[in-house]
Structure 1
């Protein structure tokens, strides 16, 4: 008996030592982020991992007057402070700004990646309880600071995206698309939200973005996957990893585009009217890829998840395989780099930040949790050409950096990005609890 106990203890020590060694030496990037960006990113062979690389920045916040660093020719200051995990922004017709103060509901399942995220993302400021609130910010005197900050809509369930259409404000709760009546100038909504369609909740990716079509007849909803690569079975991913197209008049929905592991920001490109999105790709095949991406999306598109990435590269971990899909997996338009966690998306059609930022897309990169070294943690701009697509050979241009300290502590993490009524860029910083305002000058 004693011998069996000693053997068991030795096995635990060996296994534990292996885990400690893995944590001390995770998979390290062999490529620069720049090599994995643009229309023709470097796609290396996967380096499959049993456990994910964990490289999440501890949060220290903005101390002693620190603030992000803007690109040359721009200035940055706080538009609103003292918020509770501000994630997403929406500008109302009168110029008021809505901010979703929100966080993930309690995580259940999600496999080993979900467990690691649930345990460790708290270090990055993502473990706080959700305020479940939309707050209204108003800068009536035009000085670039919101002097009004008031609760607008409460009692929600991890709200994220917001969009006006047909006299309603649509809100993406984690488990439903809901709406409330809205008239211009409202500063508080007391009506009980009406459910338009139910959405699948739970799992790893909780945020549901919302975008109304220009004519207000349709509403698009992004729904991320519940897992990394459908490791809990493809049935658990029904209506997930998709952008849904909702008809509010009939309260029905259909899949508009699929194979998008975690689509988040959505926007219509002003030149062509095409729908674009930013997408977070899969984990645990190395620090160098595959890249998160920015892409146009059309009805019927399939981008390959979970079986394929970047237009047909197979992920052989997925069981069962789907060989018939490979030739139909759409290649994304633009790579943003590995694990940058691209969330925010806004086109520059009404931005007034100078000619350099006149045509293209602003993207909020929340920052990696599973890459060594860290990637993202900044706002970038992707220049577009007159054809409504990223300019040939263009690389992302840094707009707002400095969210990480020199020793890789997180002062903040950018998420939603929009322009305000004066053409400045507003950036939601969910761990700094600030809305930053970037202007020319």
Structure 2
């Protein structure tokens, strides 16, 4: 091993921060940072460890489908249920046959194609395997019945730049029959020399007819189309070096011709400190996210699932793999969440958690795919694994709370007589605001400070309804007292938080 590499490892082991671009950045762990830089990881955990560590949504079970797959990243499933998985640092795509005797585990595995340049996104369509390499998009004829390729590998799009922080390319075939390409930024926050970076484009299936679809997408490694209206949504990783809790990562509704903020704006169009004088035209046109993930959660693969074999609560649902923080003083993310489109809102719930526990990381989920039998597969580039998740229980969480919280008493059962009800709070919108506020509290790290507060103190959320009116809570959210960060909540989020905090504190204990 080269001397400089040994020195770098030693320095990382001796300090909780690293210096990037003149700033200090906390790191979650040396091993996780090394995984981010090199794709290396750990041995696949045994099933017993998973059973002890993982918390699953009610009625689900999970097992290791395939282990010993270092750097397993993005997947595609053939019509004969073979799983194809890209491995950028190995430069190959591996094919895992289904086991004919035991469908819960993978069977024979083979390297389907190798010698590639950091392959990432893959897609199977009409007898072709499409591969997004760091510097090009290619395809090769693929026979699902024989699980084999034939003929020469064809370059469809060449000359893609692969320098900088986010060289990987994500591809998918859209419902319009076109090839979509997402390219991440070269940097944390900067103006790109290559105008195709930090964008989404689309092509004809032969690579011709390039069309720029959307700009200002820092690193959108997951995207999919909602099956009920074909709307395109994509996950986007927020920038670094602005603290543990800012800015949020994003889920964007991606529409042709739109600009999504980076590098000038973060979250709901908040000006970035490195670009305080953003062009006015961009400020008025930047699209806010459809949903915000906590900062540094690193949402990667996302898939809208077929809920035919699942409980009703999974209707209109996408699953998202949160790869987890590498640059946070307290680790966060490291889970698979379900996003539910309901009553005009997107609500997040934990589906699988436990990849990280007390700063001990045993996995980093990357991508999600669903087989024709309804089974859900999750890749993990840190544990070198593909997991298989199935629903095999009774649905007794029809009214499950968001994220990890338990379902509360309905807000309609609570009567805060001591409070003056504002004009914007009505019987018709109270429940929706309450649920939205609950989701925000679950997504943000609020309870890390507030749950240990002295009872009836200013930090005690359990008694806030006895101490503050709705507007007083909103004012505190607008101008928080340090060390509480300013999350720049939207007006609707401020109202939702006020309603949730008041009603939660006044419900019978």
- Range into which the TM-score falls when normalised by the shorter chain: 0.7 to 0.9
Change (3 A) 1:410 1:178: same
Aligned residue in 1 for 2:353: 401
Measured against aligned partners, the alpha-carbon deviations of 1:149-203 in whole angstroms (never above 9, x if no partner) come to 1121212111111123343221100111111122332423254321111222111
Bigger Cα displacement from structure 2, 330-339 vs 303-312:
303-312
Among 47, 50, 75, the alignment partner of 2:23 is 50
Aligned residue in 1 for 2:273: 316
Among 182, 187, 192, the alignment partner of 2:152 is 192
Among 70, 78, 89, the alignment partner of 2:75 is 89
Among 298, 314, 324, the alignment partner of 1:341 is 298
Change (3 A) 1:57 1:66: farther
Change (3 A) 1:57 1:77: farther
- Alignment coverage as a number of residue pairs: 365
User: Where do residues 373-388 of structure 1 align in structure 2 (5 Å cutoff)?
Assistant: 373-385=330-342
Q: Secondary structure at the match of 2:284?
A: helix
Q: Secondary structure at the match of 1:87?
A: coil
- Contact 2:341–2:347 (8 Å) recurs in 1: no
Measured against aligned partners, the alpha-carbon deviations of 1:129-149 in whole angstroms (never above 9, x if no partner) come to x11111111225352211121
Aligned residue in 2 for 1:277: 234
The answer to whether the aligner puts 1:426 opposite 2:377 as a matched pair is yes
Q: Secondary structure at the match of 1:384?
A: strand
The answer to whether the aligner puts 1:210 opposite 2:171 as a matched pair is yes
User: Where do residues 187-336 of structure 1 align in structure 2 (5 Å cutoff)?
Assistant: 187-189=147-149, 191-198=151-158, 199-216=160-177, 218-230=178-190, 234-249=191-206, 251-318=208-275, 321-336=278-293
Unpaired segments ≥5 residues, structure 1 = 1-18, 27-47, 103-129, 386-390
Among 156, 177, 180, the alignment partner of 2:137 is 177
Q: Distance in 1 between matches of 2:105 and 2:186?
A: 38
Instruction: Name the structure where helix makes up a greater proportion of residues.
Output: 2
TM-score, normalising length from structure 2?
0.67
Change (3 A) 1:428 1:63: closer
Q: Secondary structure at the match of 2:74?
A: strand
Measured against aligned partners, the alpha-carbon deviations of 1:63-98 in whole angstroms (never above 9, x if no partner) come to 453113322211010111121210011111222211
- Contact 2:70–2:383 (8 Å) recurs in 1: no
Q: Whose RCO is larger (CA < 8 A, sep 6+)?
A: 1
Measured against aligned partners, the alpha-carbon deviations of 1:268-305 in whole angstroms (never above 9, x if no partner) come to 11000111111101111121111111122111010011
Bigger Cα displacement from structure 2, 349-358 vs 149-158:
349-358
Aligned residue in 1 for 2:425: none
Measured against aligned partners, the alpha-carbon deviations of 1:237-281 in whole angstroms (never above 9, x if no partner) come to 420110111123462422110100001111111000111111101
Change (3 A) 1:202 1:191: farther
Bigger Cα displacement from structure 2, 136-145 vs 306-315:
136-145
Unpaired segments ≥5 residues, structure 2 = 1-10, 33-41, 393-509
Q: Secondary structure at the match of 2:118?
A: coil
- Contact 2:307–2:314 (8 Å) recurs in 1: no
Q: Distance in 2 between matches of 1:76 and 1:83?
A: 18
TM-score, normalising length from structure 1?
0.77
State which structure, 1 or 2, has the greater radius of gyration over its C-alpha atoms: 2
Aligned residue in 1 for 2:36: none
- Contact 2:249–2:267 (8 Å) recurs in 1: no
